[in-house]
């Protein structure tokens, strides 16, 4: 489970996501209490100030930004940078692909 960590990041489609980026979550388990996995997140505060890059939101969807489909909902930010989820930057994805290089 520890392969999905910021220090293992080689490259990213997000322009501002590197091993030195400020994050409060970057792992598979994420925020288990809120059912947010594969969570790459920058800041918490409230639903209106949450921001980050990517999340898989489970059945418990506390914030309006998580309610963009039937769970699990794959949400990401467009335009290559972390964004505030609440202001409309959280876009649902059809699928998630993980590519592991050796």
Residue 8 is inside which H or E element, if any? none
* Domain limits, the chain: 6-11+26-93
Q: What is the pLDDT of residue 24?
A: 93
Residue 77 tokens read as 């930010």
The tens place of each residue's pLDDT in the chain, 102 residues long, gives 788 899 999 888 899 999 999 999 999 999 998 999 999 999 988 899 999 999 999 989 899 999 888 889 999 988 889 999 888 778 899 888 877 776
pTM: 0.87
Q: What is the pLDDT of residue 96?
A: 83
């Amino acid at each position: 489970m520890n392969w999905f960590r910021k220090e293992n990041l080689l490259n990213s489609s997000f322009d501002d996501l590197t091993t030195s980026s400020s994050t409060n979550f970057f792992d598979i388990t994420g925020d288990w209490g809120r059912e947010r996995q594969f969570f790459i997140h920058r800041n918490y505060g409230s639903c209106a100030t949450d921001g980050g890059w990517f999340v898989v939101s489970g059945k418990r969807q506390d914030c309006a930004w998580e309610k963009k489909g039937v769970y699990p909902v794959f949400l990401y930010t467009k335009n290559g940078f972390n964004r505030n989820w609440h202001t409309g930057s959280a876009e649902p994805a059809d699928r998630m692909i993980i590519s592991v290089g050796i």
